[in-house]
Structure 1
Amino acid sequence: MNRINRLFSERGDRKLLSLYFCAGCPKLDMTADVILTLQRKGIDMIEVGIPFSDPLADGPVIQSAGTVALKNGMTLEHLFAQLEEIKDEVHIPLVLMGYLNVVMHYGYERFCQRCVECGVSGFIIPDLPFADYLQVIKPLADRYDLRCVMMITPETSEERIRFIDEHTDGFIYMVSSASITGAQQSFDDAKQQYFRRINAMNLHNPRMIGFGISNRQTLESAQQNAAGAIIGSKFVTLLREKENPTEAVEQLLEDLKK
């Protein structure tokens, strides 16, 4: 069974926590250390960012991390090589997150092949048109038993959400707002209403809420309204500040209690 599906099928009532970091930042050779540290600290799933020069959905924190990673020499091929070295040590789902241009230039099938060879369970491509997903990506993902995770936002129509739910497997990435990534102190009434509206749809796929989660209030709100939470910018900031994965995740877990 795909590790993403196994994670959600075996979690019971436990709320999940997934962390995002950008491969190659703050240091080129830190990828393996970050992944193995997060696994050891009990993180349920890891999103590994593929740096790109024009990340439209990302806020300034992740944009800056991507710039650092590219300057450090991170490439998709180098990332795959790093992941391949630790594939036998990793037991939690790894999800690659990157933009269509990078994957397209690498080659869709080659990308899927390398994901499998390196222990990757799925991927998120924020700017992937759904028609292209259905026609090109989904057949390849199905062949290689990979999960292509799609995003929804407060602006996504109910019709499209149900279409996504029908044609994907794994989980749905529920973006907390229509804006770019970045930490927030709280989720306002509009976001809470959005969460309740999606809950009422009784979707087939589990959902993870991401964008803006950085403290106890936003974490608990996400956990109450989905299978769990995804944290990106807050962890990326701590990782750059401390340049030590253990110190960064320990500080994050402490901050999430406040």
Structure 2
Amino acid sequence: MNRIVSLFEQHPTRNLNVYFTAGYPALDDTRRILKALQEAGADLVEIGMPYSDPVADGETIQISNQQALENGMSVKKLFEQLSDMRDEITLPVLLMGYINPVLQFGLENFCRRCAEVGVDGLILPDMPVDEYLEFYKPIFDRYGILNIFLITPQTSDKRIRQIDDNSEGFIYMVSSASVTGSQTGVSHDMEAYFERVNAMNLRNPRLIGFGIKDHETFSKACLHASGAIIGSAFIRVVQQNKHLEEAIRAYVSSVKQGS
């Protein structure tokens, strides 16, 4: 069974998914941060594949992308860094990024390498659902890689049900129509959106992302979904602390348990 599916079956609530950018702050920090997140108690991890034009991301993640690229990070280098990660990493691992570098690498080659190193799923926000279903789904299925779709407050019920019918693992609920790192909390409008989606009784669990940064926002999101995703706030932790393992441990604990 895919590790993502297994996680939600065994632990259906209060799952913390943490995003970080591969190759940031230093090129060889990818595995170090991944291991530190596992030891700190993260439930699953998204590793961002740096891209020169990350249009859905705010300033914090854009800066991390640019620095990682300047450090020499690439898709090929990332797979090299993850080559034996399953010797020490047991939690679900996803790669998140934009479709262009994946297509340049070759989608089948990319999915094959994901399977070889033990990546469980992909999040490619700019890959259209219809295009995935028509051209790419058989390749994802062949290598056992889950494709995680995003929905927003503007996504129609019809499209949400199409996504739910054609995906597995979880659905990424973007909390608002904005870039990453731009929100300050969970608003009334967001809660109405969460309640609308919950009322649809979808078969896939949901994780809420964009605007989650601390114990309060994490706990509020968990009232409406199976957990939440933190990105920009975690990048700032990595950015501002030289003692990464200690800082990561303290931050994850503060989000999950409060302090």
The aligned counterpart of 2:117 is 118
CA distance in 2, matches of 1:148, 1:163: 14
Counterparts of 1:109-188 in structure 2, within 5 Å, are 109-182=108-181, 184-188=183-187
The aligned counterpart of 1:246 is 245
The aligned counterpart of 2:46 is 47
The aligned counterpart of 2:236 is 237
Letter in 2 for 1:133: Y
Q: How many residues align?
A: 257
Please say if 1:200 is aligned against 2:194: no
Letter in 2 for 1:194: Y
**Aligned partner of residue 73 in structure 2, secondary structure:** coil
Change (3 A) 1:183 1:218: farther
Q: Give the C-alpha shift of residue 247 in structure 1.
A: 2.6
CA distance in 1, matches of 2:7, 2:37: 16
Please say if 1:9 is aligned against 2:14: no
The aligned counterpart of 1:56 is 55
More displaced 10-residue stretch of structure 1: 126-135 or 45-54: 126-135
Task: Give the conservation status (yes or no) of the 8 Å contact 1:183–1:213.
Answer: no
Q: Give the C-alpha shift of residue 152 in structure 1.
A: 0.1
Change (3 A) 1:103 1:169: same
The aligned counterpart of 1:93 is 92
Identity over the aligned pairs, expressed in percent?
A: 47
Q: Give the C-alpha shift of residue 251 in structure 1.
A: 3.7
Q: Give the C-alpha shift of residue 183 in structure 1.
A: 5.4
**Aligned partner of residue 214 in structure 1, secondary structure:** coil
**Aligned partner of residue 84 in structure 1, secondary structure:** coil
Structure 1: 4+ residue segments shifted above 4 A: none
The aligned counterpart of 1:38 is 37
CA distance in 2, matches of 1:62, 1:109: 27
Task: Give the conservation status (yes or no) of the 8 Å contact 1:235–1:248.
Answer: no
Q: TM-score scaled to structure 2, two decimals?
A: 0.96
**Aligned partner of residue 176 in structure 2, secondary structure:** coil
Q: Give the C-alpha shift of residue 57 in structure 1.
A: 0.7
**Aligned partner of residue 186 in structure 1, secondary structure:** coil
Change (3 A) 1:250 1:183: farther
Change (3 A) 1:243 1:102: farther
Gaps of 5+ in 2: none
**Aligned partner of residue 48 in structure 1, secondary structure:** strand
CA distance in 1, matches of 2:243, 2:113: 28
